[in-house]
Each structure stands twice: as structure tokens, then as C-alpha cells.
Amino acid sequence: MLQLIRTNSENKDFIALVKYLDADLAERDGAEHSFYSQFNKIDRLKYVIIAFANDKAIGCGAIKEFNLTAVEVKRMYVISESRGKGIATKMLTELESWAKELSYTKCVLETGKKQPEAIELYKKNGYNIISNYGQYIGIENSVCFEKELK
């Protein structure tokens, strides 16, 4: 049975999952990985979701304030053997609910063109491609999305 836990970035399971995520991204992004990693520090994330199945941490995601009305979705990851089961959608939905509870009205995020599964995840969950924002402006591999929270 899937269980979603709300926590923060000090959680040891989150820290362990992010190591797997970073290894996966380093392999996919190659030389570009060091550019992205500077924007993916996890030491001060207050809103983290961890997915557990049979008491094993199998996925994570986080939100952080982007501006006064929006949060940025960060550090979404599901371990390879648990993919394709809808876990990422459940985590994303929980992060969106949490954002609404915190009075935010929009989610934004960046993912890479070398993460086609992530792009499909966001599209099927109602995210729309937008112009690259902030540090991602002009970055060829980046795809940015937003979703209005209803």
C-alpha cells in the first residue's frame, strides 16, 4: 500500500532518494549536470513528500516558494522498479494540495528534455509549457511548465 508522508529536507529517506535522483540526472545530462545541480540544493526545503510502499521509501518530491503566489516543484523522483504505477502523479497531486493549503495559486517547474517521462507526467497532470524562467532562460535542455491550482 502506498503511503505519502509530509516532511522536510532533513529527512534521511529524502536525502537518500535525492542521491539516486542526482546519479540518474548526472547520467542523463552528462556535462550539463553541474549547471543544474547548483539550483537543486536541498538543505532548506520545508515542504517535502516521501512515498513509501511496504515501509520502503520509493519516491520523493518537494515544493518551495517561487514568488508570493506560486511554488516551484523540485526533486521529483521515483525509484526505477516502482515507475509506471502512478506514484509520481499521486506525489504531484499531494504537493499541489499542500501548495493550495499554503495559499499558493500556481505551480511552476523545470525539467530537462532528456527526461521524457517527466515531460509526459507534467503534461498529463495539466501542466502547460511556458517560456523558460530565471536561471533556465536560454538553456536549450530545459523545459519549463506551469499549472494554475483550482
pLDDT of residue 38: 57
Q: What is the pLDDT of residue 34?
A: 61
For domain 2-148, say whether CATH 3.40.50.970 is its number.
no
Domain-wise residue ranges, the chain: 2-148
Ranges of the chain with pLDDT below 70:
29-43
pTM of the model: 0.91
The pLDDT score that the predictor gives to residue 114 is: 86
Please tell me the predicted confidence (pLDDT) of residue 27. 80
pLDDT at residue number 42: 64
pLDDT for res 108: 98
3-state secondary structure 23-71: HHHHHHHHHHHHHHHCCCCCCCCCEEEEEEECCEEEEEEEEEECCCCEE
